[in-house]
Chains A and B, each alone.
Chain A
Amino acid sequence: MTSLLGKRITVVGLIVAACVFPFITSNLYMLHILTLAFIWMIAVYGLNLLAGYTGYLSLAQAGFFAIGAYSLGLLTVKAGLSYWLAFVLACVITSAIGFLVGLVALRTREHFFAIYTLCVGYIIYLVIDKWDGLTGGVRGLIGIPAPANIGPISFQNPLSQYYLILFFLLLTIFVMYRIIHSLSGRTFIAIRNSEELAQTIGISTMKAKLLAFVLSTFFAGLSGALYASFIRFLGPDIAYITVIFDLLTYLLVGGIGTLAGPIVGTFLVVTVSQSLQFLQDYRMLIFGPLLTLLIIFYPRGIAGALQDWIAKLSSKKKQTPPKQRKNGKGAYVHSQTSEKKVKEG
């Protein structure tokens, strides 16, 4: 009970900190970076749902991010739709394309799935890059409007955009929390741990996987649409493979398959790379080995390591054998260790 209370206090504290942050600093650049980090967090949550909880590594996430961004851009700039209508449509279009891709992609598994989605992502990039007439090709798409006013609230200045995007991030986290702790969330975790077993106990795995895939593309589309109206310029680069590698780095540093991971990882990596500005082009010299070392020694990232550490501490305090943690995050470790035992034995 106390730990639950402590958790709640941390969460409320973090939200309050995020809300008052703009008043503490008057540095607009910092605000810009943080807003951008929030946008990435939403995309990373989408990736986490699929790769972390369902166990399917989709490398097309950057492509779907770009589809969301370009849908918003094209609908507002070329079709002249009102902003919020275009915003909703961008999410719907991305999810619809995600549904169609998922329908086929999810027939494949493991490595085939990763390679299939990598190719889908590359096709999306090439189409955006080469289809000059629609997307503007390498010249990019300019003049995307900022979010339109809702009633008396205007979103023209950086501060209000910060709060708008913070609102969407909190909404994403809330929805994610509800999904993970619902029956569908458990289903996803069951599929990750063993797809055959899940099938045996009567789970329609295809349906569940498709749901996870569409949800993850939805969040990619959402963050893409926010990105488009925040940066207000789009180039084909946002669909390129490096973006998905960035997202993966955020996810892994924070902790794949944990709820706090995307926030922790994105925040840390973005702030650290800000202070390593001089390395800009070479930052992968640090992040590449970091990614590899993390996956060898801390496969569940910072959030996961912290969780294990706390669990170990509390079990030592009680002097009783560690409780089987009920949430899905524990199940991952459990299944991993037992799997290893079987292989070594």
Chain B
Amino acid sequence: MDILIQQLFNGLTIGSVYSLVALGLTLVYGILHIPNFAHGALYMLGAYVTLTTMLLWGFHYWLAIAISVLIVGLLGVLMDRLVFHPLRNAPPIHDKIAAIGILLFLEALAQIVWGADYRSMDTPYGQVINVFGVTLTMQRILINVGAISVMILLYLFLKKTFIGSTIIAMAQNREGAHLVGINTNKVAMLTFMISGGLAAIAASLSAPINLVFPGMGHLVILKAFVIIILGGMGSIPGAIIGGYIIGFSESLGATYISGEYSDIIAFVLLVVILSFKPKGLFSREGF
């Protein structure tokens, strides 16, 4: 029973990270219909920037995260301006390939700047606490609390503010949004900014319990793709629910089925889903 609770908590933690990454991906997909393969590289850079600012300038964990969010967000904007904006009328295959090009570049860049070693990130929240016989570390609790509050903030931003609703409007109908006077270019840039920021938060929160290395984004981004297909491409609640589904099935699968193959679970799940529902579990109806 203890193992079950422990694994459920682990699933919740993994799921929170996955959800944050998938949210960024699904936002960009909703607006621009680009499967942004470079999102994994943004995730990786987010962790590295946090790590560097902490080590180099001795910034506090939270301040480092804030700087990382800003830098990676701006990088996302730059990506939109330099690459995806010029490609907006190209056939869809071009966006995908351009995104792959960015991914390769950023990964090689990280390898040059920070080296290929695996690094660990220190956290001020390393304490271990016991709740009802279950061992929890503060960092893991922080991941859950942090991720959920970011999700709530994002929801409020999208639903309650004017700028947020322009994003939703553009996701629903690009031409329509343009007609009523929304500056679609600005909205696209804003979306990339948020998307990059979400990746940076997810990476910075989860880095202390994982390791930081140039290829750290690979698996996460692949699973994020699984999640947004699971939840319907472009759907925000879908990304959150999908993230937790994958998180739980992985942590439970690792304990009760096979630890070695736990990474494969998400992909098998996706292949099965797409085999029966070629357009994903929930077809997209706006947000």
Q: Is A107 part of the binding interface, using a Cβ–Cβ cutoff of 8 Å?
A: yes
**A110, A116, A292, A296: the one within 8 Å of B274 (CB):** A116
Per-residue contact bits, chain A 114-129, to B (CB 8 Å; 1 contact, 0 not): 1110111011001100
Query: CB of A88 within 8 A of chain B?
Result: no
B84-132 contacts to A, CB under 8 A, are 86-87, 89-94, 96-98, 100-109, 111-112, 116
Measured between alpha carbons, how far is A225 from B27 in the docked complex, in Å? 42
Whether B91 contacts A336 by the Cβ 8 Å rule is: yes
A299 contacts B94, C-beta separation under 8 Å: yes
Per the bound structure, the CA–CA distance linking A288 and B229 in Å amounts to 26
Which of B14-22, B63-71, B178-186, B259-267 forms part of the interface with chain A? B259-267
Residue of B nearest to A114 (CB): B96
Query: Which of B104, B106, B264 is packed against the most chain A CB atoms within 10 Å?
Result: B104
Contact (Cβ within 8 A) A296 B98: yes
Residues of the B chain whose Cβ atoms lie less than 8 Å from the Cβ of A344: 89
Closest Cβ of chain B: how far from A340's Cβ, in Å? Answer: 5
Interface membership of B257, Cβ < 8 A: no
* 22 CB < 8 A contacts A-B: A104-B271, A108-B278, A108-B279, A110-B92, A112-B229, A112-B280, A114-B35, A115-B225, A118-B222, A119-B225, A122-B267, A123-B264, A256-B93, A282-B111, A285-B108, A288-B102, A289-B105, A291-B97, A291-B104, A295-B97, A295-B101, A299-B90
* A169 to B93 Cα, complex, angstroms: 27
Question: Is there contact, CB below 8 Å, between A291 and B267?
Answer: no
Q: With an 8 A cutoff between CB atoms, is B218 at the interface?
A: yes
Also in contact, A245 and B98, with CB within 8 A (given A112-B229, A116-B270): no
C-alpha spacing A10/B73, complex, angstroms: 50
Chain B residues within 8 Å of A290, by CB: 101
Say yes or no: is A269 at the interface (Cβ < 8 Å to chain B). no
Report B231 CB to chain A, min CB distance, Å. Answer: 13
* In the complex, chain A residues 85-139 whose Cβ is within 8 Å of any chain B Cβ: 104-105, 107-112, 114-116, 118-120, 122-123, 126-127, 130
Contact status A287-B111, CB under 8 Å: no
Interface of A is mostly: helix
The answer, yes or no, to whether B31 is at the interface (CB within 8 Å) is: no
Residue in B closest to A52 when the chains form the complex, CB atoms: B93
Q: Interface size (B, Cβ < 8 Å)? A: 47
Query: Known interface pairs A104-B275, A116-B274, A343-B89. Does A295 touch B222 (Cβ–Cβ under 8 Å)?
Result: no
In whole angstroms, what is the CA distance A130 to B261 when docked?
A: 8
Residue ranges of B at the interface with A (Cβ–Cβ < 8 Å): 29, 33, 35, 83, 86-87, 89-94, 96-98, 100-109, 111-112, 116, 218, 222, 225-226, 229, 233, 260-261, 263-264, 267-268, 270-271, 274-275, 278-280
B96 touches A291 (CB 8 A): no
Q: Which 5 A-B pairs have the closest CB atoms?
A: A288-B105, A291-B101, A292-B101, A288-B104, A284-B108
Q: Which chain A residue lies CB-closest to B93?
A: A57
> In the assembled complex, which residues on chain A have CB atoms less than 8 Å from the CB atom of B271?
104, 116, 119-120, 123
CB-defined contacts of B222 to chain A, threshold 8 Å: 118-119, 122
Residues of B within 8 A of A283 (CB): 108
B108 and A107 within 8 A (CB) = no
The listed residue (B35, B93, B105, B275) touching A107 by CB distance below 8 A is B275
Contacts of A115 in B (CB 8 A): 35, 225-226, 229, 270
**Closest Cβ neighbor of B269 among chain A residues:** A119
Chain A interfacial positions (CB closer than 8 Å to B) = 51, 55, 57, 104-105, 107-112, 114-116, 118-120, 122-123, 126-127, 130, 241, 245, 248, 252, 256, 281-285, 287-292, 295-296, 299, 336, 339-340, 343-344
A281 touches B116 (CB 8 A): yes
Question: Which chain B positions have C-beta within 8 A of A123?
Answer: 264, 267-268, 271
* A119 engages B112 (CB within 8 Å): no
**Given A122-B222, A126-B264, also A248-B275 (CB < 8 A):** no
Contacts of A245 in B (CB 8 A): 100, 104
Apart from A120-B267, A296-B87: 6 A-B pairs, beta carbons within 8 A: A55-B91, A114-B96, A281-B116, A284-B107, A285-B108, A285-B109
Q: Which residue of A lies closest to B88 (CB)?
A: A343
Which residues from A are CB-within-8-Å of B35? Answer: 111, 114-115
CA distance A153 to B145 in the complex (A): 70
Expressed in whole angstroms, the Cα–Cα distance for A114 and B225 within the complex equals: 11
CA distance A228 to B104 in the complex (A): 26
Chain A residues whose CB sits within 8 angstroms of the CB of B107 once the complex forms: 284, 288
Selected contact of B87 from candidates A105, A110, A116, A295, CB within 8 Å:
A295
Q: Is the CB of B89 within 8 A of A292?
A: no
Contacts of B116 in A (CB 8 A): 281
Known contacts A119-B222, A288-B103, A288-B105; is-contact A248 B97 (Cβ 8 Å): yes
Contacts of B225 in A (CB 8 A): 115, 118-119
- Docked Cα-Cα span, A126 to B267, in Å, equals 10
**Which residues of the partner chain B approach A107 to less than 8 Å between Cβ atoms?**
274-275, 278
Whether A289 and B101, one on each chain, are in contact in the complex, defined by CB atoms closer than 8 angstroms, is yes
Candidate in B86, B87, B100, B116 with the most chain A CB atoms within 10 angstroms: B100
